[in-house]
Copies of this chain bind each other. A is one copy, B any other.
């Protein structure tokens, strides 16, 4: 089995690659070849998927499974209109077309990471599986377009696609990135590392989270699932955990103590507040759950997993 990972240097990409390498198999088949692509190191191929010929070159190797995680994140896609459309829309379409143009019976499994940013307020308390997509960011628009292309290309038999709408990944380890959602992780991660964190929104902001570990589980499950059960509706809202910022902080207080939780400084940011207002607070992911996708049940669990996986069991008390 040959596997291609686009966006392999990203936080989820690296964890996916590590997990697959450790397993050595996917869907019961031995992994014989692994190609990791990203615009930045570490990767086997350093390339911009929107550049001419790049996607065609990658597809020509006929990977059995393609994980397409490459994207410009929400804050950057909002700040740089051209770059967001070039990578998130044109890059995705070029990949899809490169696979299509091989023809000759080639029909790989293609797992596309979409996002809850495809939904825009106002929406119901829990966004159902049949709720319409009215993104309020360019990033969400680009992901929604990717979903539509994925469904059409799958329907026409060019590949066997599945789109997974990831919750906000929390706790995101490592350095902050340019995503507007970064603070949801930052207010937990930085205090655990002994540093001050900035909370740019009100504590009653409710949002939809899943851990990096769950995200990798989703990707692997999407790569192995029987798509006959999925039908033409190829894009699924992944399960997650709906919590307020106050509940996140309370969990941090329970797990790591007052001193850690007191390292959060409130500093409202009107730009972030406006973006986050348009975001989903909770999803009804029953369709994905019925297809076997699973996530965490408490935010304490998410924090403890972070302490174990990323901090070697210790934090800056």
Residues of B within 8 A of A149 (CB): 141, 145
Cβ of A191 < 8 Å from any Cβ of B? no
Cβ of A104 < 8 Å from any Cβ of B? no
Residues of B within 8 A of A232 (CB): 120, 134, 136
Interface residues of A in 95-144 (CB under 8 A from B): 120, 130-136, 138, 141, 144
A233 touches B134 (CB 8 A): yes
B141 touches A152 (CB 8 A): yes
Cβ of A81 < 8 Å from any Cβ of B? yes
Interface residues of A in 135-161 (CB under 8 A from B): 135-136, 138, 141, 144-145, 148-149, 151-152, 155-156
What is the bound-complex CA distance between A155 and B132, given in angstroms? 17
A148 touches B132 (CB 8 A): no
B131 touches A141 (CB 8 A): no
Copies in the complex: 2
Q: Looking at chain A, what size class is its interface with the partner chain?
A: 20 to 34
A152 touches B134 (CB 8 A): no
Which 8 residue pairs spanning A and B have beta carbons closest together?
Answer: A141-B152, A132-B132, A145-B145, A141-B148, A130-B132, A144-B148, A134-B233, A138-B152
Shortest distance between the CB of A146 and any CB in chain B (Å): 10
B132 touches A133 (CB 8 A): yes
Shortest distance between the CB of A232 and any CB in chain B (Å): 6
A133 touches B136 (CB 8 A): no
Residues of B within 8 A of A120 (CB): 232
What is the bound-complex CA distance between A127 and B145, given in angstroms? 21
B133 touches A130 (CB 8 A): no
Residues of B within 8 A of A141 (CB): 148-149, 151-152
Contact of A130 among B131, B144, B152, B156 (CB under 8 A): B131
